[in-house]
Chains A and B, each alone.
Chain A
């Protein structure tokens, strides 16, 4: 490595544009920051020697230089921006409405959106955000973040640490804010220094040369917020592993108890009650809106009890359960236990819990009950004995009845549309009769039955849908986001301001630099030179 020795005596690393100590432009390196074509010096990184601007030989150099370019970084951001927007043209697969005619993506997009939908689907845009190329794009942004930051942070840190109050006049003259006063007194200078200190500048002196500096830490803001972003990206990566992130769903009916999936059978949940409330349409506050828009849901709530299995697991034996928690799960009020969280996320209204049937004579127009029995639909018995000597046996039970090509069958195992084939055995030794009974159906198979079954009553109940989550990556996301916010505030709400005072024979040169908010720096300088002979700095970069 060939070091560069400046006339001020400081030895700079190879690739330095402005001497770290005195700021004198290093000959032969001015093209790096584009200073050769301009009056003003590019102060973005204080003219420090960045690796990316110095070496460009090996493949490592070239890769490094590619990713350390802000231009490349901005392009990656713009590509990610466009890609993200593309994914909202049509809904993502997960957002295909539940009541769509077909939720199969290969059918849905074409039927709903025509040829464009078909193209969208075939390009894989229906799962855009989990596509390999979108993730690659985000990963490239991540790499760019790391390399950009290292490439700039290290030399900038060194340059700001090694800077000295005494600056080369070339450096000062080529700052954006500059003035030269021919006649100044020591008194003027003293006033300036007092006022700078009052403005909470840190004032350094070297042989009468002054550097007043403020808010240097804001220069680290970008690097801090990039660290935050890297942590967020790492968290997102970890979240793809099943150990760090668990996502399950459980349906539990009112009054029922079930194992919570994803907990290795350790935890059970009981749904004591599911509550669905709507707003009172007579509420004076809301009646106008409800009259216009219809009923509005007010609350979805599961009154839940969590049990934990205790003791040794014995195959076949009923597990011992210990109550852990009893709580109401509502939207916006998830239930937490151990490392798991349960969210209220759905419900089913139309499930039957029990049905009560009565027996009456077929030709009785009043359908006077001869006796009745109640079937618990989650656990139907084989035979029901009625008070008056009848007995009914269950010959077939379809919890969710439908006809499939002339054959009766059950669509699901849930009692959503229950139907039965009963054998009715009248008292005495009369012959038994076969009856088919369901919701809105009552079929006499032979047409010769003396007795008929009718639905007297039924009870429905809710099934509550709960999401089960365990997410160990959350703290990492929170830390990443917090660091990002700290960094971005540090970088945006503070400014790194420097003012140089350079005695020159009888007079003084004043130069100023800030990383942003030039207006504020000008006001500072205006304030400190008040009541002195020192001339106000000229902004050498005004846009005409």
Chain B
């Protein structure tokens, strides 16, 4: 059915769009593209189009890998959409350059604003305390573990503390060709470094009151060193120094390494490749202070200030982030809900999601928001961290030296911003 449709569209010629006299076209761009997800997006958008018959939404799906540079190029050249999917890591870049429209006036009159849980608005307002994006869901880290490997290594239960984590890793790594931890040494590994650092530090405070970074505190350094030691003692595959998202997931479901810390959306890939009794999900480990600091990330919808149809764009965002659109969306993409009532929704009664809801309900679990309000964060996470942490893993840098370099970048950014 589909190829015929595309061939027909192609046969009509290039760039011909169905013309309608009074049609307004809204441009929507998604960046964490995946074929099944695009289908869900299209169906939610269709409910919007049905409710607004003279509006058409043109969806552009950027390939996920180069999506950052692609969107940046488009925006820099003036090819801006009306509504865009905005990851937390990019928010500061676009919001601080006056590219995004503030959603505050719309939120004031939106009926669903009161039903959003506290975190939603708090995180959407990270930049200058203004809602430049409305999050659609949260990504919280939890511990995935391989039950088969655990059984083979004689481990009965998932680790609950940092010491147990290292001990379990050692046991699994003693199996030939197997490793305890799937380390993400390449792009996107910053979350793990922050998590281990905060665990040892007992606190997730990133900056002192004068704006200088806390990374050089002994606690953070000890956490960084612990993670580095896990790699250096071969508790993670040697290859993992280069591993990105897809590599760690593949490492997990291929049974190469037994533990991985990741968000609920990784469940989609893992559930497809592993049987339900082969893996389990537990809350993230606690540190010596008795507290756990899994990172919490979020993605949402933003409106570009250059949009010529702001009211309509808001209506689109409201549909995507409203009820039931948002629930359908989160069900597909595997994020945690933004609505306080959603926890009772049957969707979230899935036993596999128990690990995350346990985390959210545990007072000793402090979801850690990374300093995404800093404009330098995107560069820090995508380039500085992989480069320096790889040097640390390979023994070219010591943990204090790496912490020092990170602190320099963070302090400068914090003190010069705003």
Q: Are the chains A and B members of one assembly?
A: no
Task: Give B residues with C-beta under 8 Å from A.
Answer: none
